[in-house]
């Protein structure tokens, strides 16, 4: 009876940290957040698709886009998804050394992508495409810039996670925390695939 009661209490405690879907409350919260982000990016993408052909002044998109450069930058960001998977796998094996290594590499790859985006924006501005130059310029910078902010936030989270892991200050299940950051990181990667395809590969 005592063992049964202990098992029952353990089950109640475990269920308190899980939703009715079987996911933990933390994972459910992250999925809800990412769902709201989908709506936000959906609005930005729709706005861009509406205004991308409206270039009243300034250069045409096809005249300033550097597809090879952006393709390399995109490949670097996509490779960071692989390193993030390796970080999650290492965390699940409780391998702190490799977890920190792959998280750091992921952050560096993300920083390289953001650096490339800043370089690209600077080149566009010099070519005459500013935020207020045209409706295309406004929607383009709003969409790609907002995504860049999300990548930057992800980089900050990755660096903070490495520091917390080194000092053993990650609260709760360490593997789950790394997985949650991984979900966010994969999300921004998937969003960029959509943005890259619609903005750079499909002509206006």
Whether 6 is covered by a domain: the verdict is no
Q: Is residue 100 assigned to a domain?
A: yes
Q: What CATH number is attached to the domain comprising 157?
A: 1.20.120.80
pLDDT at 63: 83
Residue 11 confidence (pLDDT) above 70: no
Residue 8 has pLDDT above 50, yes or no: no
pLDDT band at 19 (very low <50, low <70, confident <90, very high): low
- Where is pLDDT greater, at 7 or 69? 69
What is the total count of domains within the chain? 1
- Structural domain harbouring 148: 26-201
Residue 11 lies in a domain: no
Strand ranges (E), the chain: none
User: Is 48's pLDDT higher than 60?
Assistant: yes
pLDDT digits (tens, 9 = 90+) for 94-138: 999 999 999 999 999 999 999 999 999 999 999 988 888 888 888
The DSSP H or E segment spanning 137 is: helix 135-166
Quick one: which of 104, 66, 69, 65 has its CA closest to 84? 104
Whole-model pTM over 0.75: yes
Asked if the structure places residue 13 within a domain, the reply is: no
pLDDT band at 22 (very low <50, low <70, confident <90, very high): low
Confirm whether 37 is domain-assigned. yes
Kindly report, residue by residue over 73-85, the tens digit of the pLDDT.
999 999 999 999 9
Q: Is residue 12 domain-resident?
A: no
Please give the helix or strand (H or E) that residue 9 lies within, else none: helix 2-15
Determine how many CB atoms are found less than 10 A away from the CB of residue 68: 8
**Long-range own/partner contacts, residues 16-24 (CB < 8 A, 24 or more apart):** 24/176
Per-residue pLDDT of 147-174, as tens digits, reads 999 999 999 999 999 999 888 888 778 8
Report yes or no on 36 lying in a domain.
yes
Query: Quick check: is 46 in a domain?
Result: yes
């Amino acid at each position: 009876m005592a063992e049964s009661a202990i098992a029952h209490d353990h089950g109640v405690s475990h269920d308190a940290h899980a939703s009715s879907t079987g996911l933990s409350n933390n994972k459910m919260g992250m999925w809800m957040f990412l769902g709201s982000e989908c709506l936000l990016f959906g609005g930005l993408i729709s706005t861009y698709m509406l205004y991308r052909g409206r270039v009243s002044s300034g250069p045409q998109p096809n005249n300033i886009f550097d597809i090879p450069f952006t393709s390399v930058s995109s490949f670097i960001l996509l490779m960071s998804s692989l390193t993030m998977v390796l970080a999650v796998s290492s965390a699940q094996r409780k391998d702190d050394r490799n977890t920190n290594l792959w998280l750091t590499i992921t952050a560096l790859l993300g920083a390289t992508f953001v650096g490339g985006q800043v370089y690209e924006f600077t080149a566009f501005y010099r070519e005459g495409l500013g935020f207020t130059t045209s409706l295309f310029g406004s929607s383009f910078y709003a969409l790609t810039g907002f995504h860049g902010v999300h990548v930057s936030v992800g980089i900050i989270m990755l660096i903070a996670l490495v520091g917390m892991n080194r000092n053993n200050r990650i609260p709760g299940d360490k593997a789950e925390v790394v997985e949650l950051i991984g979900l966010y990181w994969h999300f921004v990667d998937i969003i960029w695939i959509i943005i890259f395809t619609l903005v750079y590969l499909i002509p206006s």
